[in-house]
Amino acid sequence: MVTVLEIPKHLRSGANTVTTLGSGAKFCAGCDTVKPLAEFHKNRRRPDGKCSRCKACYRLIYATKRQEIADQKRRYHATARYRLARKPAARRYRAKNRDKAFARNAVSRAIKAGTLIRMPCEVCGEPKTEAHHDDYSKLLDVRWLCFEHHLAVHGKRPMNLRGSHAAETRPLGPPLRDDG
């Protein structure tokens, strides 16, 4: 195995350097060490097909960037500029969907007051559920669905996704009514 000291300094840094050593090792530009090729992510744009930094270096970079982005978002969401930008959009949505907003608020108030009790998902039994209105004029007539099945009812996601959602117990759609 080749050590770092055996690699000329001009090959250890820079974007356009040949950094693959032999057939199974590569020099990492982040931590200045030689590591096996399995320690590098694939990158089709690079001549050797691998990233210039090892997976461990990228994990550190992404961890710090993730925190920076989260901090920027948190600071922006705390500003008056964000709140002012959100108000017109929220107002437009409520004006356009008055019945939906009124029904959602009625369900929220009923849950807080204890007159409506959150039930498990009627399809899979998941305890964490959302209220689904088949008819917004019937304010407290809701179906309790988990996030996955709620999206499926609205046609925004296929039904069989993963885990407990693979085996469906009944088709989703408006509740069946017995007219007989």
Q: Are 29 and 52 in contact (CB under 8 A)?
A: yes
The yes-or-no verdict on residue 160 having pLDDT over 90 is no
Kindly state whether residues 114 and 145 are assigned to the same domain: yes
Kindly state whether residues 54 and 128 are assigned to the same domain: no
The closest alpha carbon to 140, from 120, 115, 119, belongs to 115
pTM (predicted TM-score) = 0.46
Report the chain's mean pLDDT, rounded to a whole number: 80
Kindly state whether residues 9 and 55 are assigned to the same domain: yes
Kindly state whether residues 87 and 134 are assigned to the same domain: yes
Host domain of residue 159: 80-165
CA distance 33 to 30: 8
